[in-house]
Chains A and B, each alone.
Chain A
Amino acid sequence: MTEHVTIIMIEDDEGHARLIEKNIRRAGVRNEIVSLSDGTSAIRHLFGEDGSGSEHRGHALLILLDLNLPDMSGIDILKRLKANEYLKRSPVVVLTTTDDQHEIQRCYDLGCNVYITKPVDYESFANSIRQLGLFFSVIQIPETS
């Protein structure tokens, strides 16, 4: 993954955010990580003050999304991302504790690119995140149009 890709992490649990960041770094990912802890600030950051998302034009974004946010469902953010003309091509990785089949199907239906269930077992959690980091280092991410 080229250096200019920004990882936007939407995760309400600060501990989780910290652990994810640590483990991504352990995989050798050096990209900038923007951590957002609730839906409202995430929406503001992603779509800007005017709600159009044009601020990110020309940037490459990778979005890490938790579904269980205190103020809204991650699903709503996913819907808005995939409906936005600037952001629709940015890969979205849903990283959440939910392992309900309906929920997983729904996310893929809405255009999520990867769905990962956070394991409770730390070893597998750390492992998953590290592998995700490795995956980040090889994938191509388009710039927002």
Chain B
Amino acid sequence: MTARAPALSPTLQPVLLALGFALLLLIGGTSVWLVAQTDADSARALQTLEVKEKLARLQGLVWRAESNQRSYLLAGDPRYREDVQADAEAIDAALAQLDDALKQTNGTTQSVLFAELRAAIADELSMLEQAAGRREQEGPLAVIPELLERSKAEEIRSMVGQLVQQEQRLLAGELAASSRRARQFLAASLCGILLIFLLAAASIIIVRHSIRRMMAAQKALKEANESLEETVARRTAELRQANEEIQNFAYVVSHDLRAPLVNIMGFTSELEVMRKDLFNRRGAGPEAALRGDFDEALSFIKSSIARMDRLIKAILKLTREGRREFRLEPIDMTELVGSIADGLGYQAQVNRASITVEPLPPFHGDRLALEQIFGNLLENALKYLRDDTPGQIRVTGHVVPTGNVYEVQDNGRGIEAKDMGRVFDIFRRSGPQDRPGEGIGLTHVRTLVRRLGGAIDVRSEPGRGSTFTVTFPTRPPATMLETTQ
């Protein structure tokens, strides 16, 4: 009913979803990384600017120191000398700062050039100091040419320029690498997005496919349900018909069996009349023994016919019960069973038995059927008491979640285990066959209980008594309301 699709099985769906989420996480991570990278790049650019600015300041300070020194050498004003010293201190501080900044930007790799610069500046400063010392001793003009020769101002300038360039190169390189990585990541993200789209498409296809299959399955199920209902209805009708046929059959058979019985009985009686005439005419004599045999044969034939007639009548009664229409009404069971017990009062007295009816839960059923059920059970209880013990019969009842339970308990002779299943069968009786009856009562009871939607069961201990349990559902089944007619 559904097409097989192993490639697009719905079991693949979670895997696809997991893959999609993983890709999304990757893309998200990349974005975070890109932002962080941009931040780092700008910080790095700022640092480079800072380094450049510090280098420029250093250069300025060196120039100012040189210029102040020259002013001191020319003018000899000690104020300039103090300025030079202040400048040297500022240069030291600037160098320390620069060292820190450089360390931040590129670790220690630049320290060679920086160390050279540092040394050059130190030389320059010491040269300036020496020149200042000689100016004090030898006068202003003696130091100037030497000063000019030994000045490292030009080298310092070039080194600062190199440092700036190096720093810029470094920055450019790092930025280039960063932007390359960013581009790679971006490309990867784009690929990821594309993949997510592909996954989404695959998911949609799978979902639509499985929805189609589900709908097909649902349709098939619905059809199956409908055909099931049809089948059940058909079977029920068949069963009902079969049941009717059986009842009809039983009715017709029992009916037709009675007709030959009338003949057998009738002509037996005719024979009896003829025999009387015959033997009367012959009088006593050797035929006396023959007469006895004749009587015996006739009495056997007649008692058998009478029994057969009772059995057939019983079957007729059963089939008629099966056809009778039930009228359901609320029934006070305590009152119903109580009045049955009252009706059996004389019989109970003769049998030295007592019948106790405890309060029973009410029930919604057919009055006549219930009377027959409990009447039969009570009569049975009275019939099968033990001769040596006063009979005690108790009717109790209680409500269980599924319905009402009624029990008829006696202390009679009980039923052998092997007979338990048979007592409800037609024409079957348990124990010594010393009581009148055709073995029809319990069959009748079971038929009625079943028609009321209930069940009957028996527990018994031979020699101690039996308990018949009748269970009715709270509401009788709807089928019970239908009659077989």
- Complex CA–CA separation, A9 to B68 (angstroms): 169
Pick out which of these stretches binds chain B: A11-19, A33-41, A43-51. A11-19
> Which residues of chain B are near A123, meaning CB under 8 Å?
269
- Decide yes or no: A97 and B266 within 8 Å by CB, A120-B305, A120-B309, A121-B306 being known contacts: no
Mask, A99-125, CB within 8 Å of B = 1, is 010000000000000000011111101
Choose from A68, A98, A100, A125 the contact partner of B266 (Cβ within 8 Å). Answer: A125
> Which residues of chain A are near B305, meaning CB under 8 Å?
120
Contact call B270/A16, Cβ cutoff below 8 A: no
Min C-beta distance of A96 to chain B, whole Å: 9
8 A Cβ contacts from B74-118 to A: none
A22 at the interface (CB under 8 A from B): yes
Choose from A22, A68, A97 the contact partner of B262 (Cβ within 8 Å). Answer: A97
Contact call B263/A97, Cβ cutoff below 8 A: no
A64 at the interface (CB under 8 A from B): no
Mask, A65-103, CB within 8 Å of B = 1, is 000100000000000000000000000000001101000
- Complex CA–CA separation, A121 to B259 (angstroms): 11
Choose from A15, A97, A122 the contact partner of B258 (Cβ within 8 Å). Answer: A97
| B272 and chain A: residue at smallest CB distance | A122
Mask, B239-272, CB within 8 Å of A = 1, is 0000000000000000110111111011111100
Contact call B265/A120, Cβ cutoff below 8 A: yes
> Which residues of chain B are near A118, meaning CB under 8 Å?
258-259, 262
> Which residues of chain B are near A119, meaning CB under 8 Å?
262
> Which residues of chain B are near A98, meaning CB under 8 Å?
255
Contact call B266/A122, Cβ cutoff below 8 A: yes
> Which residues of chain A are near B266, meaning CB under 8 Å?
15-16, 19, 122, 125-126
- Complex CA–CA separation, A120 to B269 (angstroms): 12
| B302 and chain A: residue at smallest CB distance | A122
- Decide yes or no: A16 and B263 within 8 Å by CB, A22-B270, A121-B306 being known contacts: yes
- Complex CA–CA separation, A27 to B46 (angstroms): 147
> Which residues of chain B are near A121, meaning CB under 8 Å?
265, 306, 309
- Complex CA–CA separation, A13 to B259 (angstroms): 8
Contact call B255/A15, Cβ cutoff below 8 A: no
8 A Cβ contacts from B209-266 to A: 255-256, 258-263, 265-266
Contact call A19/B255, Cβ cutoff below 8 A: no
- Complex CA–CA separation, A16 to B265 (angstroms): 11
> Which residues of chain A are near B259, meaning CB under 8 Å?
13, 16, 68, 97, 118
Contact call B256/A68, Cβ cutoff below 8 A: yes
| A17 and chain B: residue at smallest CB distance | B263
Contact call B263/A13, Cβ cutoff below 8 A: yes
- Decide yes or no: A122 and B269 within 8 Å by CB, A19-B262, A97-B262 being known contacts: yes
8 A Cβ contacts from B253-312 to A: 255-256, 258-263, 265-270, 305-306, 309, 312
Most buried by A among B258, B260, B263, B266: B266
> Which residues of chain B are near A13, meaning CB under 8 Å?
259-260, 262-263
Most buried by A among B258, B305, B312: B258
Min C-beta distance of A63 to chain B, whole Å: 20
- Decide yes or no: A120 and B261 within 8 Å by CB, A22-B270, A68-B256, A126-B269 being known contacts: yes
Query: Beyond the given A98-B255, A126-B269, could you list 11 further A-B residue pairs with CB under 8 A, ordered by the A residue number?
Result: A15-B260, A16-B263, A16-B266, A19-B262, A19-B263, A100-B320, A120-B262, A120-B305, A120-B309, A122-B262, A123-B269
Show 23 A/B contacts (Cβ-Cβ < 8 Å), sorted by A.
A13-B259, A13-B260, A13-B262, A15-B260, A15-B262, A15-B263, A19-B263, A22-B270, A68-B256, A97-B255, A97-B258, A97-B262, A98-B255, A100-B320, A118-B262, A120-B261, A120-B262, A120-B305, A120-B312, A122-B262, A122-B269, A123-B269, A125-B265
